[in-house]
Amino acid sequence: MTTIDLGVVEEPVSVADAKLWARIERDDEDGLIAALIRAAREAIETATGLALSQRSFRLVLDPVPPHGWIEATRHPLEALGPVTAFAADGTPNLLDAEDVVIERSMGLEAFRLSPAAREAAANGIEIEFTAGFSAGKVPENLLLALKTIVAASYETRAAVGPDMQPALMPDLAATLIAPYRRVRI
């Protein structure tokens, strides 16, 4: 199972907000701070399975589970987009809306495939969906964690390059993220 991020529209924290939080007054490193915000957001999303900004994703899966339930890899789910099933010979077939539905049950968000969809996806399936928090709806604890990671990353910028950030996870950020982590059994 592979999840492809189809693009970020807007980061949940602006460069100006991050600079204010970290007490950075200079403007010559705004590009670096933007990169640190992106890296911190990605670290939080990886740890939690949440999407901190609403955007589109493509979930690629081969083989399709025989029971037809596919847990969403990013939350909260907003909408289902085009779903393409690949036949045994590799021919792509666009599925109808009734063949794939979003299910929300017992705190899980998943896609449920009809028997016809499972049969049509002999060689895999691609599910496009929209997930994430809309602007202004990201939990405050996660925004504070993001700003804390950005500030710590900015302080260690001389020791670790931007492509290796975040280099450390401050205890405060880890504590703020902990309640949002997905527990797997």
For the whole model, what pTM was predicted?
A: 0.86
Does 121 lie in the same domain as 159?
no
Q: State pLDDT tens for residues 45-63.
A: 999 999 999 999 999 999 9
Residue 15: CB atoms within 10 Å: 19
Contact at 8 Å (CB) between 80 and 131?
A: no
Q: State pLDDT tens for residues 161-172.
A: 777 778 888 999
User: Which residue range(s) make up the domain with 149?
Assistant: 2-52+135-179
For residues 72 and 163, what is the distance between their CA atoms, to the nearest angstrom?
28
Contact at 8 Å (CB) between 17 and 147?
A: yes
Q: State pLDDT tens for residues 104-150.
A: 988 789 999 999 999 999 999 999 999 999 988 999 999 999 999 99
Contact at 8 Å (CB) between 110 and 71?
A: yes
For residues 183 and 48, what is the distance between their CA atoms, to the nearest angstrom?
9
Whether 15 is in a domain gets the answer yes
Confidence of residue 185 (pLDDT cuts 50, 70, 90): low
Whether 185 is in a domain gets the answer no
Whether 44 is in a domain gets the answer yes
Number of domains in the chain: 2
Which secondary-structure segment (H or E) carries 39?
A: helix 30-48
Confidence of residue 78 (pLDDT cuts 50, 70, 90): very high
Whether 151 is in a domain gets the answer yes
Residue 84: CB atoms within 10 Å: 17
Does 98 lie in the same domain as 66?
yes
Residue 12 is given by DSSP the state: S
Does 66 lie in the same domain as 46?
no
